Amino acid sequence: MDFHETFSPVAKQPTIRIFICITLHYNWPITQLDISNAFIHGSLEDEVFMAQPQGFVVFHNSLSNTSLFVKKTPTSLTLLVVCVDDILLTGSDFVLLTQFLQKMHLVFSMKELGSLSYFLGINVIAQDSNYFLCQQKYAIDLLLKAGMVDCKPCSTPLAVKSSASLSDDILFAQPSLYHSLVGGLQYLTITRPDLSLVVNQACQHMHVPTNAHFQNVKRLLRYVKGTVSHGLSFTPCPFTLDAFSDSNWAGDALDRRSTSGYYIFLGPNLISWSAQKQPTVSRFSTEAEYRSLANTTVELSWLQQLLKDFSFPTSSIPTLWCDNLSAMAFASNPVFYTRCKHIVIDYHFIRERVVAKQVVLKYVPTSDQLADLFTKPLSGSRFHYLKDKLMLLPSPISLKEANKIQASRGREGTSIVSTAIADATLVSSVSDCDVG
């Protein structure tokens, strides 16, 4: 219904997460702004050409994300992230930030909302030197919409074995409800990566949802009910990138396409992830793993450029962890095999970056492969083991307590994944001779 609406700039979620990591690393304050007249505009009958006057260059917007603006001087750095009419502002020079806010008030009808506390439906809890991001209120509203606020909680979002029934193939009687709930769950994955695989599967049936598909959504909502206060924890961190890539070969029983999944950490903090069905059928498992490696490498390359735009380039080569030795050997071996000609683009893309030392491939045993969570149904113990590795934790305080803390402030970690990386490093040192 809103196809006549004009485009509004929205920062990508990894950009916001990196923004938060930088402020924690340098202990910079975050100021939240709201533009009151963001949607007030008139209709123009004539063409109007506008350009910024020469020499008037204050902020440079990032090429990696046009909603990120950076102002760098020899003595200061100012960062600004725009999401439609909501703005996050931080920097190293308090005087410069004050001057910038004064100029903004002259141009826009703007509110200063003080320290970051609630942004885009995400509750941000500041505790000691950490930030905790969750969508508890949003999750409760979603349960209310589904009429499941008093439902019995479930330990995992996806059953390992599906239980078929006679009514599974019958079309769901309320497709609009299915669309609304799945769309809401998709937004909930901003702070809940553990929901990504199931939500991705639910989105694949938007056009013709059946009773079986709705039952899967209900199970997911039961899992949300039991973990309603869970969210992502962010701590001060070094600017090093680690990625875990995995695939589930021919995992879809209907079209036999594989599912790719990856996690990317900045220090101990999870900043980007994906669970997505591959667009083509893979002929063998190595091909599926290799396509997943290619997708992860693309995201790593973008994050590296984004960190440069933030003026914080990574201090070391990103490490990409994979549990498939054949895919790693394929990326490292200059010999091009006949059976792999059809994946030549992905081959050259990864190999060029490996040779240029822009990414390092290392082996991780399947037992420590974090991306398993994004590719297949898992048992309860395995699911919770991997979930705990992602800095995905219950809220340290209740939502009411968080609101009281933020109100009282007025206007003003230890890496869990490091254990898995340390174990994988030990294994990779033994396996390097096989990969080379």
Same structural domain, 266 and 362: yes
Is there a single domain that holds both residue 200 and residue 291? no
Clarify whether residues 157 and 259 are in a common domain.
Answer: no
Of residues 2 and 63, more confidently modeled: 63
Tokens of 198: 């199931």
Domain assignment present for 403? no
User: Region 141-156: what's the mean pLDDT?
Assistant: 93
Q: What's the whole-number mean pLDDT along residues 66-78?
A: 90
Number of domains in the chain: 3
Residue 389 lies in a domain: no
Do 95 and 222 share a domain, yes or no? Answer: no
Residue 60 lies in a domain: yes
pLDDT band at 394; cut points 50, 70, 90: confident
For residue 305, being part of any structural domain is answered with yes
Instruction: State the DSSP string of 177-202.
Output: HHHHHHHHHHHHTTT-GGGHHHHHHH
Residues 161, 142 within the same domain: yes
Mean pLDDT confidence for 349-366: 86
Phi then psi dihedrals of residue 274, to 5 deg: -160, 140
Above 50 in pLDDT, residue 420? no
Which band of pLDDT confidence, cut at 50, 70 and 90, is reported for residue 389?
A: confident
Residue matched to tokens 């598909």 = 213
159 occurs within a structural domain: yes
User: Is 411 contained in some domain?
Assistant: no
Range of the domain at 141: 133-231
- Give the domain CATH number at 361: 3.30.420.10
Task: Name the phi and psi angles at 178, rounded to 5.
Answer: -60, -45
Together in a domain, 156 and 90 = no
Contact 180, 145 (CB under 8 A): yes
Q: Please give the average per-residue pLDDT across 330-356, as a whole number.
A: 67
Instruction: Clarify whether residues 194 and 286 are in a common domain.
Output: no
| Range of lowest pLDDT (40-44, 124-128, 136-140) | 40-44
Q: Which is more confident, 415 or 69?
A: 69
> Poorest-confidence range of 120-129, 136-145, 335-344?
335-344
Instruction: Show which of 87, 116, 145 is a domain's final residue.
Output: 116
Give the CATH number, domain containing residue 73.
3.30.160
23 and 147 co-located in one domain: no
- Looking at the structure, tell me whether residues 341 and 261 fall in a common domain: yes
Q: In angstroms, rounded to a whole number, what is the distance separating the alpha carbons of residues 417 and 386?
A: 10
**Rounded to whole angstroms, how far apart are CA atoms 280 and 255?**
10
Q: Which of 108-117, 296-305, 327-336 has the lowest mean pLDDT?
A: 327-336
Query: Do residues 142 and 257 share a domain?
Result: no
pTM of this structure = 0.82
Dump pLDDT digits (tens) for 185-209.
Answer: 999 999 999 999 999 999 999 999 9
| pLDDT tens string 258-294 | 889 999 999 999 999 999 888 777 777 788 888 899 8
Q: Are residues 357 and 256 in the same domain?
A: yes
Domain termination residue (choose one: 231, 248, 272): 231
427 and 295, same structural domain?
Answer: yes
Residue that terminates a domain, selected from 231, 259, 293: 231
Q: Is residue 318 predicted with pLDDT exceeding 90?
A: yes
